[in-house]
């Protein structure tokens, strides 16, 4: 193979008759040689598209790049945003239902009938979603790698909508627990799947802002969900209803989700190679556009050495522990924000309405930090501004007396800027983790940490601490301060790795291979890979 021309090497690497080699490539060395070719002949799916070009470079004009980006944004971003908003809304319907009659004992009166659960049982309903999520997170990441990405994602969206609708038929705590578990199972594919879509279609410089945009629809969902629940609650009180108000909420959101899932199945391709809204020529150009990422668009083969690298990489564990610690506050606030606002002195109906501005704060914080992170090249450092804002908000909630309702409510709104670092790190899984098996493994670790944190979070809110919940609020502040330290470590780790790789590339004996970007190399083994900060 050493005597082959570059184009011949590319074909040899993708010879499907050759058995897949699972042994790891050598340590990062001074140049990429035939050893890496031997172990990475099982190349990225994108390599097929470039067979026959014989190493010829494809030049994209600035006008073509902008045209492709507009087309991709127009077709992908709206559906990703809507689905991710529903992903948040469907999780938090439980919070709305809790003050719309879910916790009441069964009754003949449709406006005042629930399933009769206690405060501790409600906390377990909040946590049970994440037991389902964590149980299926790694298997679903493997399926995201193995199965067609668009179709598998659509299947999960349709199924979680159906499961959520079934909550309207629940009559006991046991039934509610089962629904929440399976809701977590089907929603487990959404966030890692969307991270893969983002890495497939967008360059590194575009991924932070795009991830911020689709994730910001959590905030839009909070606004929409609050208004929807308020409208149902007031309408049912004034005009009566055939079903209990909390059941209507579950039916409306669940059926809407399944409908959007069917549209997703038609609209979202598995990758550029089977995209119906791109011409054959544009499919190749769309792939060439992301060559700069050094990651490709997917590889269906499981590679053991990449799994090992992910488990031994300190960066993977920094991501994991950030998600775990940061989502202890998230788990508590997501499930108890309505009750927290009631504790500020507002009525249950008012809490549905007054919770909506928090969604606007989240939208602005995520989009602003995502844009600024890509614009100035410091995603992590800029995202820390949102977390510092959230800490200030929680300090206001803890420090202000109960009589200061408006001040404590303003503090709650400020806490909704807290997801900015979580989204920044999620976008960096798209940008900075290469090798498809490694990427799906790190994404699974990150979201397993997310699940564990969200399981713990609701347990910090004890009914005996109402209405102030001071122990839970202090726990939230401590968690967020620790997260600032983890973010600083991740930033400086990337800086150190970039300097190390720059030294390797400057070595006189270093040689870059043709189509090295499509070899499915990991970020550590590819000297050309530059980490986004």
Closest listed residue to residue 219, CA positions, set 67, 43, 363, 435 = 363
C-alpha–C-alpha distance, residues 174 and 180, integer Å: 10
Q: What pLDDT score was predicted for residue 184?
A: 93
pLDDT digits (tens, 9 = 90+) for 374-402: 889 899 999 999 999 999 999 998 888 87
C-alpha–C-alpha distance, residues 306 and 521, integer Å: 9
Q: Write out the two tokens for 213.
A: 């945009």
In a domain, 13, yes or no: no
The CA-atom distances, in angstroms, between 353 and each of 101, 348, 356, 515 are 17, 9, 6, 54
pLDDT digits (tens, 9 = 90+) for 33-77: 444 444 445 655 555 655 555 555 577 888 999 999 999 999 999
C-alpha–C-alpha distance, residues 56 and 54, integer Å: 6
Q: What pLDDT score was predicted for residue 23?
A: 38
Q: What is the mean pLDDT of the segment spanning 496-502?
A: 92
Q: Write out the two tokens for 137.
A: 């997170």
In a domain, 311, yes or no: no
Q: What pLDDT score was predicted for residue 147?
A: 92
Between these two residues, 14 and 172, which has the higher pLDDT value? 172
* Length, in residues, of the chain: 533
In a domain, 533, yes or no: no
pLDDT digits (tens, 9 = 90+) for 351-371: 778 878 888 999 999 999 999
Q: What is the mean pLDDT of the segment spanning 200-217?
A: 92
Other CB atoms within 10 Å distance of the CB of residue 148: 16
In a domain, 418, yes or no: yes
Q: What is the mean pLDDT of the segment spanning 470-492?
A: 93
As a whole-number percent, the residues of the chain with pLDDT over 90 amount to: 43
Specify the CATH number for the domain of residue 168. 1.20.1250.20
Residue 347 pLDDT greater than 90, yes or no: no
In a domain, 22, yes or no: no
DSSP conformational letter for 463:
G
Q: What pLDDT score was predicted for residue 174?
A: 92
Compute the radius of gyration of the chain from its Cα atoms: 24
- Alpha helix locations (H) across 344-469? 348-354, 356-376, 379-399, 405-415, 420-432, 436-459
- Alpha helix locations (H) across 61-189? 62-98, 119-146, 149-165, 173-187
C-alpha–C-alpha distance, residues 97 and 229, integer Å: 8
In a domain, 151, yes or no: yes
Q: What is the mean pLDDT of the segment spanning 96-121?
A: 77
Domain count, the chain: 1
In a domain, 163, yes or no: yes
C-alpha–C-alpha distance, residues 331 and 455, integer Å: 7
- Alpha helix locations (H) across 243-355? 245-267, 280-289, 304-312, 314-343, 348-354
In a domain, 347, yes or no: yes
Q: What pLDDT score was predicted for residue 185?
A: 95
pLDDT digits (tens, 9 = 90+) for 125-142: 878 888 999 999 989 988
Residue 22 pLDDT greater than 90, yes or no: no
Residue 513 pLDDT greater than 70, yes or no: no
Tell me the residue range of the domain where 361 lies: 63-277+317-505
DSSP conformational letter for 512:
P
């Amino acid at each position: 193979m050493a005597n082959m021309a570059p184009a011949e090497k590319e074909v040899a690497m993708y010879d499907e008759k050759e058995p897949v080699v699972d042994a790891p490539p050598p340590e990062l060395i001074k140049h990429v040689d035939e050893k890496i070719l031997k172990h990475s002949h099982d190349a990225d799916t994108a390599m097929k598209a470039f067979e026959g070009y014989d190493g010829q470079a494809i030049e994209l004009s600035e006008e073509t790049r902008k045209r492709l980006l507009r087309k991709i944004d127009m077709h992908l971003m709206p559906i990703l945003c809507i689905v991710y908003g529903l992903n948040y809304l469907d999780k938090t319907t439980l919070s709305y239902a809790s003050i719309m009659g879910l916790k009441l004992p069964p009754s003949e009166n449709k406006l005042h009938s629930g399933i009769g659960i206690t405060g501790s049982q409600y906390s377990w309903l909040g946590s049970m979603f994440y037991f389902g999520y964590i149980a299926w997170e790694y298997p679903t990441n493997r399926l995201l790698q193995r199965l067609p990405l668009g179709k598998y994602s659509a299947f999960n969206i349709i199924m979680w909508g159906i499961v959520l609708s079934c909550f309207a038929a629940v009559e006991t705590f046991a039934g509610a627990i089962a629904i929440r578990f399976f809701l977590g199972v089907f929603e487990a594919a959404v966030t890692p799947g969307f991270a893969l879509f983002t890495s497939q279609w967008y360059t590194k410089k575009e991924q932070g802002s795009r991830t911020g945009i689709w994730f910001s629809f959590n905030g839009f969902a909070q606004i929409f969900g609050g208004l929807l629940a308020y409208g149902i609650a007031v309408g049912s009180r004034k005009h009566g209803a055939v079903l209990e108000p909390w059941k209507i909420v579950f039916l409306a959101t669940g059926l809407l989700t399944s409908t959007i899932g069917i549209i997703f199945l038609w609209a979202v391709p598995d990758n550029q190679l089977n995209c119906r809204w791109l011409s054959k020529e544009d499919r190749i150009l769309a792939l060439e556009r992301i060559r700069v990422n050094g990651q490709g668009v997917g590889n269906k083969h499981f590679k053991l050495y990449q799994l090992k690298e992910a488990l031994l990489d300190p960066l993977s564990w920094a991501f994991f522990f950030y998600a775990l610690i940061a989502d202890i506050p998230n788990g508590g606030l997501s499930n108890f924000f309505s009750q927290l606002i009631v504790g500020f002195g507002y009525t249950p109906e008012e809490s549905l309405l007054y919770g909506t501005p928090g969604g606007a704060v989240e939208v602005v914080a995520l989009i602003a930090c995502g844009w600024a992170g890509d614009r100035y090249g410091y995603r992590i450092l800029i995202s820390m501004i949102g977390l510092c804002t959230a800490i200030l908000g929680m300090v206001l909630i803890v420090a202000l007396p109960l009589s200061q309702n408006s001040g404590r409510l303003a503090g709650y709104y400020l806490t909704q800027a807290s997801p900015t670092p979580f989204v920044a790190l999620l976008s960096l899984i798209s940008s900075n983790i290469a090798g498809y098996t490694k990427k799906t493994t790190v994404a699974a670790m990150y979201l397993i940490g997310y699940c564990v944190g969200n399981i713990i979070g609701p347990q910090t809110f004890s009914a005996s601490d109402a209405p102030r919940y001071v122990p839970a609020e202090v726990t939230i502040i401590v968690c967020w301060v620790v997260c600032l330290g983890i973010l600083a470590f991740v930033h400086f780790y990337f800086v150190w790795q970039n300097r190390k790789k720059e030294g390797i590339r400057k070595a006189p004996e270093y040689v870059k291979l043709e189509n090295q970007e499509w070899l499915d190399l990991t970020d550590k083994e590819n000297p050309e890979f530059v980490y986004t900060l």
